[in-house]
Amino acid sequence: MMKDKIVNKVAQSALVTFDLEELYPKGVLLEVDLSQWLDQGFILREKEFRTAIKNHDWNQYRGNYIAMNCKTDAILPAWASLLVTAQLSQVAKQIVWGSIKDLEKHLFSQAITNLDLTPFKGKPIIVKGCFDKEVPEDAFVQLIQKLKPVAKSLFYGEACSSVPLFKS
């Protein structure tokens, strides 16, 4: 009896796998809460705020991505976040106003905007669906919009059980 040879048809196909997790920012994502410099976390006293900002050790954020926010319901003047941004911009890779999730969304958006589409032109593409790190839902939405004009077809999931999204 002749044994059938097992052939990996996925590996031999023109199918290109896109792993969004590869776009996850390299580096540390940190949060800076402005309420730490407010009286009782709510009241901005300008002189004390400016002194605290001036004396803060900004080097601890060097080379990191920063999500800046205020965890309390304090009403802040616009210049408060701008003053902190002026300090952070000397050491941080990038700063956004919001949560760590907002920061992730922003960084994925930048990476997708800057994506070189050349390797994907006219190819069937499967957008990988399983990750070790959480990928923002918005990244999938942006990626599909970016790939659709150049892809031959788009799928979501894994090669063994993909969901068709688009065929030209």
What would the pLDDT profile of 25-43 be if each residue is shown by its tens digit? 899 999 999 999 999 999 9
Average pLDDT over residues 39-48: 95
Average pLDDT over residues 157-161: 84
Looking at residue 8, what is its pLDDT? 47
Average pLDDT over residues 153-163: 90
**pLDDT at 20 > cutoff 70:** yes
Residues 31, 88: Cα–Cα separation, whole Å: 12
Per-residue exposure over 14-39, b if at least 16 CB sit within 10 Å of its own CB, e if not: ebeebebeebbbeeebbebebbebbe
Contacts of 66 (CB under 8 A, 6+ apart): 29, 30, 31, 32, 88, 92, 94, 95, 96, 103
Query: Tokens for 50?
Result: 């400016």
- Determine what percent of the chain is predicted with pLDDT higher than 70: 93
DSSP 44: -
- Determine what percent of the chain is predicted with pLDDT higher than 90: 82
What confidence tier does 53 reach under pLDDT thresholds 50, 70, 90?
Answer: very high
